[in-house]
A and B are shown apart, each in its own frame.
Chain A
Amino acid sequence: MGRINTQLDTLKADGRKALVPYIVCGDPHISITVPMMHALVASGADMIELGVPFSDPMAEGPTIQLAHERALRQGTSLRDTLAVVKEFRQSDNKTPVVLMGYINPIEAMGYQEFSRQAMAAGVDGLLPVDIPPEEAGPLIDALKTADINLIFLLSPTTTIARAEKICRFGNGFLYYVSFKGVTGADRLDIDSVVEKIDQLRTLTSMPLLVGFGIKDGQSAATVSAVADGVVVGSVLVNRVATLYEKSASDEQIIGEVSRIISEMRSAIDER
C-alpha cells in the first residue's frame, strides 16, 4: 500500500482530517522548497501537493499564475521538481507527495519516463488538472506500473454519470473542486459542498478531499467536517509572494506559511 492510502487510512482510523498544503516548486526560488515542505509537515501537514511550474496554468487565478511565473523565471523544470521530491524523501519517508500541474511537461518527458523517474524520486500521486479520464488511458497504464496514484478532479458541474466514471478510474483519493472558477477566488459555498460531498459518498468509498476557497482556519474546519481533508493553496502562495516582494528571508517566508498551516491544523482538530 502506498503512502497516500496509508496516511489517509491512518487519519480515518484516528478520526482526523487531512490537511494538504499546496506550494509551487521553485517559488520564489528552488532552494526554499525542500525546507518549506519539511516545515509544513512539522506544522501539521499530512500530505504535500507540489505544483509543477507551467507556462500556461489555465486553471489558476492570478496568485498561483504569478507563482508559476516566478518559478519559471528561475528555470524550475519538471526534472527539478522531481529532484526536490527526492531530496525531501531523504529525511521524510512517510508524508505523501502529490505533483499537481498540467499534462504538457509530462507529455514532453514521456509518460513512461516520467513514471520511472517519479517513482525513483518518491512521488506518490499525480494530479494533472487538464486531463480528464476520457484522455487518460495511456497515463493510467504508465503510472500503474510505477505505483503512482492518478488523482482525478470532481466539480460542481460533474454529473452523476460522469462522477461514477471518474470514481472508477481514480485511485488514492478524489479531489473535489468546491466551486466553478479558478484557484484563489472567494466563491466557497459550504452548503453546495455538503450537498455534493453527500452525493459523492453514495458513489465511492474513496477519500474525498476538497480544494479551492479554503482560506483560513474557519473555512478549513467547516469543510473538513464533511470531507476527508482540505487542500490549501492560494493563501499560502499569496503569503510567499508578499514576503518575497518585501525581500523577506527564507526563514521568515517559511515561518509565515508554517504559521498559517498550524493555525488551520488547530482549527480543524478542535472542531
Chain B
Amino acid sequence: MVKQDKVQYRDFPDADGHFGPYGGKFVSETLMSALEELAISYDHLRHDADFIAEFDQDLARYVGRPSPLYFAERWTKSIGGAQIYLKREDLNHTGSHKINNTIGQALLAKYAGKTRVIAETGAGQHGVATATVAARLGMECQVFMGAEDVQRQALNVYRMKLLGADVVPVESGSKTLKDAMNEAMRDWVTNVDSTFYIIGTVAGPHPYPLLVRDFQAIIGREAKWQCLEQTRQMPHALVACVGGGSNAIGLFHPFLSDDNVAMYGVEAAGDGLATGRHAAPLNCGQSGVLHGNRTYLIQDHDGQIMPTHSVSAGLDYPGVGPEHAWLKDLGRVNYVSATDSEALAAFRELTQIEGIMPALESSHALAYAAKLASTMKSDEIVIVNLSGRGDKDIHTVAALDHIEI
C-alpha cells in the first residue's frame, strides 16, 4: 500500500493518461491521432473561460443544477444511526447524473466542429442523455445498446427514438454494455473524421477517464458546500454505486484530499460474489486491458472477458474506470458490494419511506449506505449519491413481482 498523504490526486492521470499502472491508451492505431487531438483540445478548453462559462450556464439553466442535497430524515430514523443525505442527481434533466458529462462532451464536439455523435449505453440513461444534447445541438446521433438491454430497457429505447436518435441493438458477444462499447469503437474507427464518441463513463482510453471525471466532479463540489451550509460540518462518509464509476468519481474526487472523509464504492454483487454471477471487478477481478484502458476486469484465466450479471443494466459491465482501480490499490476508497436482492429491498424502502424512487443502480449504494449508517453515530453524516431515478426500472421490478404492466 502506498502512503496516502503523498498522493496529489489532482495530478492524475499523468500526461499519458496513467493512474499508477492503470489507464493509458490501448486502442488500434487508427484512433490514436483522434485521441491525441482530443487530449490537446481538452487540455486547452478546460482552462478556457468561454468554455467553462458555457458549461456552467448549461448546467444551471438546462440541467437544473445545483441538484439538492436532501436529508432523508424518516429513512435515517428507521435505520437508526448516521444522518443520511441524498445527493439528488435523479432530479437532473433526463433523470440521472449522465447529463453532466454529455453536456460537457457535446460542447467539446461542438468546439471540434463534429456533426455526428455516437454513444454506448447500458441502462439507457447515458443514451438518453446523449440523444438529448444531440437534439439540442442539432447533431446526428447513433446509440449502441446491447440487444439484451434493448429488451429490458424498452422505455429508454423509445425515449431515445423520440429524441431523434438511432438506436442500434448490438447482437454480438454477450449483448450487453461491453458489446455496445465494442460496437461504438468500431463505428468510431470507421467514422473518426466526422464523429465524436461520447463515452458515458470514466473508462475508455485517455483522455476520457479524465474529462468525464472533470465533468462529473460538479457533484462532489456541490455536495461539499451544500453539506457545510446545511450541517456546518464535513460528511464522514460518501457512498456511490460503481459500474464504470462515473457518478462515484464525480462525488468522490473533490473529497479525495479530505482525509477524514471515508468513501465507499458499491459494486453489483448480482446473485452474490460467491456465485460468480455478479459485476464486481474491483472485488473479484484481475488487472487487464479492455476498451482502451488497463483496469480490473472480470476475466477467466485465459484473459477472456467473462459474462457479468446484475439486475441493473447500468452496472452490468466487466470493467471499471482506471482511477477506481488505482484508488482501490491506494486504499483511499473502500470497494464493497450489494446484491440484487439487497438493492431491490433498498429500492422499495426508499420509495415507501421517502417517496423517492431510485434507479436500481443507485439502489446498490442505498443498500450499502443503510448497513454502514447503522454502524455509525447519530451525529455523523453519510452522503449517498442518488445517481438516477427509478422510473426506467419499473418494468424490471414489476416483472420480479410477477405483475404485467
Which A residues are within 8 Å of any B CB, using their own CB? 53-62, 65, 69, 72, 77-79, 102-109, 129-132, 134-135, 152-159, 162, 166, 177, 180-182, 185
**8 A-B residue pairs with CB within 8 Å:** A53-B304, A55-B173, A62-B172, A103-B289, A105-B303, A108-B299, A130-B26, A180-B191
Whether B24 is near chain A, meaning CB under 8 Å from some CB there, is: yes
Q: Which residues of B contact A153 (CB under 8 A)?
A: 28-29
Assess whether A158 is in contact with B190, with CB atoms less than 8 Å apart: no
A134: B residues at CB distance < 8 A: 16, 24-25, 32
A158 engages B28 (CB within 8 Å): no
- B376 interface residue per 8 A CB criterion: no
**Cross-chain contact B193 with A56 (CB below 8 angstroms):** no
A56 to B178, Cβ gap below 8 A? yes
CA distance A135 to B16 in the complex (A): 9
Contact between chains at A56 and B290 (CB < 8 Å):
yes
Contact of A56 (CB < 8 Å), options: B32, B173, B302: B173
Which one of A62, A105, A156 lies within 8 Å of B302 (CB-CB)? A105
Closest beta carbon of chain B to A260's beta carbon, Å? 25
Min CB gap B266→A, angstroms: 25
State whether A135 and B290 are in contact (beta carbons under 8 Å apart), knowing that A55-B173, A58-B185, A157-B34 are contacts in the complex.
Answer: no
Q: Which residues of B contact A57 (CB under 8 A)?
A: 182
Instruction: Tell me how far the C-beta of B224 lies from the nearest C-beta in chain A, rounded to whole angstroms.
Output: 35
Kindly list chain B residues whose C-beta atoms are within 8 Å of the C-beta of A55: 173, 304-306
Q: Give residues 176-212 of B contacting A (CB, 8 Å).
A: 178-179, 182, 185-186, 189-193
- B28 with A65: CB separation less than 8 A: no
Given contacts A58-B186, A130-B28, A153-B29, contact A78 B193 (CB under 8 A): no
Q: State whether the Cβ of B275 lies closer than 8 Å to any Cβ in chain A.
A: no
Contact of A59 with B33 in the complex, beta carbons under 8 Å: no
Q: When the two chains form their complex, are residues B302 and A77 in contact, meaning their CB atoms are under 8 A apart? A: yes
B136 at the interface (CB under 8 A from A): no
Contact flag A132-B182 (CB < 8 Å), given A104-B297, A105-B304, A108-B301: no
Interface presence of B155 (CB below 8 A): no
Contact of A104 among B33, B34, B192, B299 (CB under 8 A): B299
B287 to chain A, nearest CB (A): 8
**A13 CA / B272 CA spacing, docked (Å):** 63
Could you tell me if A132 and B32 are in contact, using CB atoms closer than 8 angstroms? Answer: yes
* A78/B305 contact (C-beta < 8 A), A104-B288, A104-B297, A157-B33 known: no
Residues of B with C-beta under 8 A to A157: 29-34, 192
**With known contacts A65-B172, A79-B302, A109-B303, A56–B29 Cβ distance under 8 A:** no
A159-B37 Cα distance, complex, nearest whole Å: 11
User: Of all chain B residues, which has the CB nearest A53?
Assistant: B304
Judged by a CB distance under 8 angstroms, whether B27 is at the interface is yes
State A79–B178 Cα separation when bound (angstroms): 25
Query: Which residues of B (263-321) have their CB < 8 Å from a CB of A?
Result: 286-292, 294, 297, 299, 301-306
Contact A158 B33 (CB under 8 A): yes
